[in-house]
Amino acid sequence: MKKDLCVIPECYVDTNLISCLLGGIGVNHQKGCTRVTGVMEKRLADRFAIGVIDADKVTPGYLAKLRKVAGLQHLCVYKSDIRPHYIITIHKAVEDFILDEAHKAGVSLSTYGLPDTLDALKKQTKKVGSDKDSRFKALFGKLEDVGEVAALKELLMYLRSEGYLAQEEQVVSILAGEDYV
């Protein structure tokens, strides 16, 4: 499997989403936002890294050392001024993001065998194995080119392709795309 271990999502369904948006490659799934930031801060201190975490838990200390450069309703991008690190936070959490974006796109989750309510969806996303769940993969395939999911995809693709050379202005510009709002 092709992989990019500098992309570090926090939980099972985040991992599924990020992997799908990047064409099915393997990413560096860590359990919990503090592990994402811990790996970035300690193991990848001098290397390019993109963390993806939900914003529904206690803010990790490392995130406070980064500067917010752009944001949408569900996505915020933080950048380190001293390291080649970006952290994307998903608001309030990935389940809200999925439901909201599906709703905006007129997509019913039940079409994909998934529940349409937040609590029921959380029961599915918390399952071990939801990082590989084909129902989510199909849903993300449908959503990847619309709304903030498309913004997230373009942002990830840009950051991955540019790596150390990624420009803050370009990040801002990607999230400012009218189509995403």
Partner 1 sequence: MNVLVGPQSIGKSCVLKIAAFFSWLEKRIELTQDPVGVTKNAYKTHFIEYYGLYDYDQKDTYIRYETTLMVIEYKSQTMSTEWKKDRWNYHRSRISYIPSERNLIATISNWTKVDVNDSLLEYFSGWDEARKSRRKGLDILSTGVQYSYKKENDSDVVRLKNGKNLLLSETSSGFQSLVPLYVHLSYLRSGQYYTNRKSSYASKAENERLLHLLIDKLVQGNLDKEVIESIAQLQYVVEYGDKRKTVVGSAEMQKLAQTYRNFVNTKRSDIFLEEPENNLFPPTQVQLIEWLIEMSTDRFRRNSLFLATHSPYVVNCFLERPERDYKLFIAAPVDDKGMSVIRAASDDDLQQMYDYGVDVFFNYETFVG
Residues that bind partner 1 (CB under 8 A): 1, 3, 5-6, 15, 26-31, 35, 38-39, 42-44, 128, 131-132
Least spacing, CB of residue 73 vs partner 1, in Å: 29
Q: Give min distance, CB of 179 to partner 1, in A.
A: 31
Looking at the Cβ atoms of 54 and 154, the one nearer to partner 1 is 54
Compare residues 39 and 174 and give the one whose CB is closer to partner 1: 39
Q: What are phi and psi of 67, to 5 degrees?
A: -110, 135
Amino acid identity at 70: A
* Residue closer to partner 1, measured from CB, 43 or 126: 43
Q: Where are the alpha helices (DSSP H) in the chain?
A: 12-21, 33-38, 61-64, 94-104, 118-125, 134-143, 147-162, 168-175
Computed over its alpha carbons, how large is the radius of gyration of the chain?
A: 15
CB distance 14 to 75 below 8 Å: no
Cβ distance to partner 1 smaller for residue 29 or 83: 29
Shortest distance (Å) from residue 151 CB to partner 1: 25
Q: How far is the CB of 116 from partner 1 (least distance, A)?
A: 25
**From the CB of 10, what's the least distance to partner 1, in Å?**
10
Q: Are strands 67-71 and 3-4 parallel, antiparallel or unpaired?
A: unpaired
- Please identify, using beta-carbon distances, which residue of 35 and 160 lies nearer to partner 1: 35
What is d(CA 46, CA 103) in angstroms, rounded to the nearest whole number?
A: 40
